[in-house]
Amino acid sequence: MPRRDEELDHLKKEQDNAFRRKQDAWEAQDQAWDRRQAARVTLDRAYEEKQRAYQERQESWEELQRVRDRNGPRIDYLNDEQESAFQNMKDAFEKASDAHEARDGASARMYADEGHRYKAEAQEAVAERRQLVQEIRDAKTRHETTRPAFQRAKAEFDRARDEHDRAKADHEHTQAEFKRAKADFDSTKNAFQARLEVVLSERQQRRDDKRSIAERAGVPYQYLDNVFVSTDADGTVNIYFGGVGSPDGPGHGHYAMDSSGNLTYSRDPFDPHGTQNFADHTERWDKYSSSRSGQTGKPRLMFTLVGRGRRVAISPSMRMATSNTSATKMVKYFTTSTTPTIPIDNVGQPE
């Protein structure tokens, strides 16, 4: 299993924390946007209501202006007519009074009738003027009744606008927070990706190095991409491969090279252990045999048959009968010197 990179782990934690902050900021921004949208809907509705009230007030004002424009000149004319008729009435009644004092009954009657005619004209002008003035007053009253509705609509619009402005400011604040959180996340993400590329490159280089070492050692092709390599203090390089669950798992193969790159040991997966796996096992046996040839007496080989624990002493030329013995392939030969353990193919015959 590749060893973990502490810096990469630290950057991953920083990226995860930055991602959570970015998500929290996004949710806050999204909620602020919902509030802003809701406030906008309320503002639009209040604006439409204010515009409707304004339109009604504007129409009533325009109607008042039309009545004033239509009735105003007529009222001025009637004022002049009334004033003229009143003055003529006054003059006629004064003449009638003078004729009456002069005992001129006919002239007195004539001037009196003329005065009454002017009086009637003045009264007619006053009546029409009153009607025209009342039309203006009625139009003005209708206009004034639209004021409260418009003021309520305007006040509601102002309140909705203030609420929308607050929601807008809150959204813009959370939006800025999200942008900062996103920038922080992007920064940590880039740092993590940069370190990841370095780590992956280093791991690939180590795999390539291990593959190169395994190729030089002669590891079978099918195992080259999954080997475990270790180096001893003396420079010996050990290559493990083909094990169960991992390259150095149960049943693994094992190749070794010395510090000069010479293969010193090779055992394929599930092959038995033993001196036959050493590159110089033949020289080792010959050297051992030579060292024993100079001793007196016959060398004895003692095989320990694992299974029933029977131990038999024989000479090198002897064959051991195992008709009633459950033996394994592992034996020990014993001499007066060192007693290495070697595997054999046939029980009773050393390799």
pLDDT of 337 above 90: no
pLDDT tens string 278-308: 988 777 666 766 766 655 444 444 443 333 3
Last residue of a domain, one of 194, 213, 231: 194
Task: Work out the average pLDDT over 72-87.
Answer: 92
The answer as to whether 241 is a domain residue is no
pLDDT tens string 230-274: 999 999 999 999 999 999 999 999 999 998 889 999 999 999 998
pLDDT tens string 118-164: 899 999 999 999 999 999 999 999 999 999 999 999 999 999 999 99
The CATH number of the domain where 42 resides is what? 1.10.287
Question: Given this model, what pLDDT does residue 280 score?
Answer: 81
Last residue of a domain, one of 178, 194, 210: 194
The answer as to whether 102 is a domain residue is yes
pLDDT tens string 54-77: 999 999 999 999 999 999 999 999
Q: Which residue has the higher pLDDT, 144 or 324?
A: 144
Last residue of a domain, one of 194, 209, 239: 194
Indicate the number of domains in the chain: 2
The answer as to whether 114 is a domain residue is yes
Question: Given this model, what pLDDT does residue 103 score?
Answer: 85
User: Is 274 in contact with 342 (CB distance < 8 Å)?
Assistant: yes
Question: Given this model, what pLDDT does residue 110 score?
Answer: 92
Residue 178 belongs to domain spanning: 6-194
Q: Are residues 29 and 139 in the same domain?
A: yes
Give the residue from 32, 4, 9, 24 showing the smallest Cα distance to 185: 24
Q: Are residues 179 and 311 in the same domain?
A: no
314 phi, psi to nearest 5 deg: -140, 165
Q: Which of 32-41, 51-60, 169-178, 330-339 has the lowest mean pLDDT?
A: 330-339
Tokens of 121: 């004209």
The answer as to whether 269 is a domain residue is no
Question: Given this model, what pLDDT does residue 170 score?
Answer: 97
pLDDT of 350 above 50: no
User: Is 125 in contact with 78 (CB distance < 8 Å)?
Assistant: yes
Tokens of 146: 């639209």
Question: Given this model, what pLDDT does residue 2 score?
Answer: 62
**High-pLDDT (> 70) share of the chain, %:** 81
pTM, two decimals, is 0.55
| Inter-axis angle of helices 6-101 and 105-217, nearest 10 | 180
pLDDT of 332 above 90: no
pLDDT tens string 202-229: 888 988 988 999 999 999 999 998 999 9
Q: How far apart are CA 186 and CA 15, in angstroms?
A: 8
Task: Give the pLDDT band of residue 12 (cuts 50, 70, 90).
Answer: very high
Q: How far apart are CA 149 and CA 135, in angstroms?
A: 23
The answer as to whether 223 is a domain residue is no
Q: Which of 41-50, 115-124, 172-181, 321-330 has the lowest mean pLDDT?
A: 321-330
The answer as to whether 283 is a domain residue is no
The answer as to whether 63 is a domain residue is yes
Q: Which of 18-22, 41-45, 82-86 has the lowest mean pLDDT?
A: 82-86
Q: Are residues 41 and 189 in the same domain?
A: yes
The answer as to whether 237 is a domain residue is no
Question: Given this model, what pLDDT does residue 104 score?
Answer: 85
Mean pLDDT of all residues belonging to the chain = 83
